[in-house]
Structure 1
Amino acid sequence: METLKIVFLWSHVRSVSTAFERAFIQREDYVTFHEPFGEPCYFGPERIYSYYDNELSAHAEYLNVTFSQMIDQILKPTTSEGKKNVFVKDMARHVVRPDYKSHRENPTVLPIEFLKRCKHTFILRTPRKSVPSLYRAYVRSNQKFIHDDIGYPELQVLFEFLTELIGTPPTLVEADDLVEKPEAIMRMYCESGIDDRFETNMLEWKAERIEAFDKWPGWHDMAQYSTGFNQCQQATDKNDELILPDDIQELIEKSMPIYEKLCEFKLRV
């Protein structure tokens, strides 16, 4: 009997990962989860960041959510009636401990047994595009820019830890490659990355509201109202007119070595 899959796509912020998730929303044989560990990371009793501590009352529905509860939800579609595979898109930053250097045996908040049960994949985008995109999102929402939110160090920590845990580097997609050659990359990702079939309906989708994206208003508009990866490419190329402060430029340069190191493991077509 075929073992049902739990596939994770781990990402950093503004990495075209939500568009990648849209591709799996198209598939009838998968249940998708959109950043399920964000709630316990920021709002629950086990939260590992304090960014929203002054806004907890506005997120009352998440105050009791734990990481183990999210794990139970992820496991449920594989065991319930009408069993399905699971695709989870989430940020490495949501599960890597801030003091990960003191937890070398497991730098994440997730149990080793659960991590071993899942198939882990990654998506990576150049900081020269992701950082300006993140900066623009903060400016647009009138929020103070959080430098650490970009998440490259956590992505590297998780990638290296899972490589050691599993014994081989996880499949890694480079975002520009994806939007330039979506069919080739998605086919390789499915067939050799997660040992599954590729479906052509993963390349295009209907422009429509996705209810799961509502918990982060304004952050996923392109992924919702585009119709495919080509439109995502057009959006990523609109950073040229943006004047970046010195600290944002510094964040780009600081993040580039991590990007370049991880790119050594990317899918190549």
Structure 2
Amino acid sequence: MTEDAEAVRISMWSGPRNISTAMMRSFASRPGCKVVDEPFYAYYLARTGLRHPMFEEVIASQPTDWRLVAENLNAPLLSARLLYIKHMTHHMLEEIDLGVFRNHLNCFLIRDPRRVIASYSAKWDRITTEDIGIRRQLEIFNALTQLTGKTPVVIEAEDILKKPEEMLAKLCAALGIDWCAEMLSWASGRHPEDGVWASHWYASVEASTGFAPFEERKIALADNLEELAVEQQPYYDALRAHKI
């Protein structure tokens, strides 16, 4: 059993379509690291009633009380020293007490809004500021900065894709954990820690065995989505100013 005083919990705060599942794969490849996939998703759907793909399956797969979710995340670790939690910021409704993450290593994974929106629009037709979570990401960043007295770590998705080993090593250093070369690769296919929603959202990462090479793609958004991207830009820029 691991003594909880020695346990390290990393809360990685991201929006959707932001290499967040690949990052979860990367940390899961570390010896002695347990990962948790979007633990507040069922709570979010239960509270909002949004009919996401696989709504019923998601609701049935997790607790829908945010307090119980937080309690589980902060429970003693029995078989690992490191816990990596993949969060979607839009799942964190305002009633959640962010103080439960005070003792976590909080890190923010960011991506250009136009890239996020282009990827998200290929999977679902409802896209709002609330859905993509960039504004909420900045709100959580500011709240955790105030709660902890520390500026959380910020890392950009495209930087990781361009230089995975260099940037993951920088991330580990910023978090105060050892660099581990195993983070660069993983087995293809579905993984045991994947949420039940994986069959809808995770096709590309299931086909992967490491971070995909960076590709500079031309993005063309419909007028309404371009307007949405412009609205998100100040929130993204505020976070980007802190990136490693």
> TM (normalized to structure 2)?
0.88
Unaligned runs of 5+ in 2: none
Unaligned runs of 5+ in 1: 98-107, 139-143
Separation (CA, whole Å) in 2 of partners of 1:33 and 1:217:
17
Partner of 1:10: 13
Runs of 4+ in 1 over 6 A off after TM superposition: none
Contact 1:9 1:89 in 2 (8 A): yes
- Give the number of equivalent residue pairs: 239
Separation (CA, whole Å) in 1 of partners of 2:105 and 2:199:
29
Partner of 1:103: none
Alignment CA distance shift 1:173-1:91 (3 Å): same
Percent identity over paired residues: 24
Q: Does 1:185 align with 2:167?
A: yes
Q: Does 1:71 align with 2:52?
A: no
Contact 1:17 1:89 in 2 (8 A): yes
Superposition deviation, residue 194 in structure 1: 1.6
Separation (CA, whole Å) in 2 of partners of 1:96 and 1:153:
12
Separation (CA, whole Å) in 1 of partners of 2:227 and 2:86:
28
Separation (CA, whole Å) in 1 of partners of 2:184 and 2:55:
38
Separation (CA, whole Å) in 2 of partners of 1:210 and 1:122:
23
Separation (CA, whole Å) in 1 of partners of 2:143 and 2:204:
32
Partner of 1:100: none
Q: 2:36 aligns with which of 23, 33, 37?
A: 33
- Secondary structure of the residue aligned to 1:117 is coil
Partner of 2:119: 133
User: What is the one-letter code of the residue matched to 2:16?
Assistant: V
Q: After TM superposition, list the pairs within 5 Å mapping 1:77-226 onto structure 2.
A: 78=77, 80=78, 82-97=79-94, 109-110=96-97, 112=99, 114-138=100-124, 144-147=125-128, 148-191=130-173, 193-211=174-192, 212-226=194-208
User: What is the one-letter code of the residue matched to 1:70?
Assistant: V
Contact 1:77 1:86 in 2 (8 A): no
The two structures, once aligned, show a CA RMSD in angstroms of 2.4
Alignment CA distance shift 1:208-1:57 (3 Å): closer
Separation (CA, whole Å) in 1 of partners of 2:150 and 2:113:
25
Alignment CA distance shift 1:186-1:29 (3 Å): same
| CA deviation map 1:60-114 (0-9, x unaligned) | 5258631122223323452x3x3432100011111141xxxxxxxxxx50352x2
Partner of 2:212: 230
> TM (normalized to structure 1)?
0.80
